[in-house]
Amino acid sequence: MKTLLVGALALFVTTLASCTPPSETSGDTIIAARNAAFAQAFAAGDGTAVAAMYADGAIVMPDGASPVQGREAIMQFWQGFIDSGAARLELMTDETISAGSTTISERGRFRIFDAAGASIAEGKYVVVWTLEGGEWMLRWDIWNANAGPAPAG
């Protein structure tokens, strides 16, 4: 009987521990590192390295364009964007929410700069990160640009 009670208690403690989500601090730390790697690959002009940060079957949903799905298509999208004059980007996380131990949602803001350092776009984004093969990968990525200045007159 004592063995059964100890076993039941061990099962309860194990179950309780597995239900505890990761702390928001750990989610923030993970996302900060992944965003730094994304910005570094972008600044290097390497669309292949940017696309490698996306999960299998990932979807990019750019502002004003059709969704892009799959790593090859995502690589072509990002390389085209980089080749059009986007040289650097800043990603500023406003909030992360961890869902269990395999998903982190992120809400933030971005700024994109040309090679001369001039800001060419800014806006906001929401992404979902998923743990795939032991690495945090982008699963869904959607953004839109902030409105430009109102026309004069």
Which regions of the chain are under pLDDT 50?
A: 1-25
**What per-residue confidence (pLDDT) applies to 26?**
73
Count other C-beta atoms under 10 Å from residue 22's C-beta: 16
Confirm whether 131 is domain-assigned: yes
Half-sphere exposure of 81 (CA within 13 A, CB side): 24
H helices, E strands: number in the chain = 4, 6
Q: What distance in Å separates the CA atoms of residue 56 and residue 139, rounded to the nearest whole number?
A: 8
Confirm whether 6 is domain-assigned: no
- Show the tokens assigned to 153: 């007159």
- If one counts the domains in the chain, the total is 1
**What per-residue confidence (pLDDT) applies to 78?**
98
Confirm whether 4 is domain-assigned: no
**What per-residue confidence (pLDDT) applies to 142?**
98
Per DSSP, 19 falls in state T
Range of the domain at 64: 22-145
Distances in whole angstroms, Cα of residue 25 to Cα of each of 21, 97, 100, 131:
11, 10, 14, 17
Confirm whether 2 is domain-assigned: no
CATH of the domain at 91: 3.10.450.50
**What per-residue confidence (pLDDT) applies to 2?**
44
pTM (2 d.p.):
0.80
Confirm whether 48 is domain-assigned: yes
- Show the tokens assigned to 112: 């994109």
Confirm whether 9 is domain-assigned: no
> What's the pLDDT tens digit per position in 33-61?
999 999 999 999 999 999 999 999 999 99
Confirm whether 36 is domain-assigned: yes
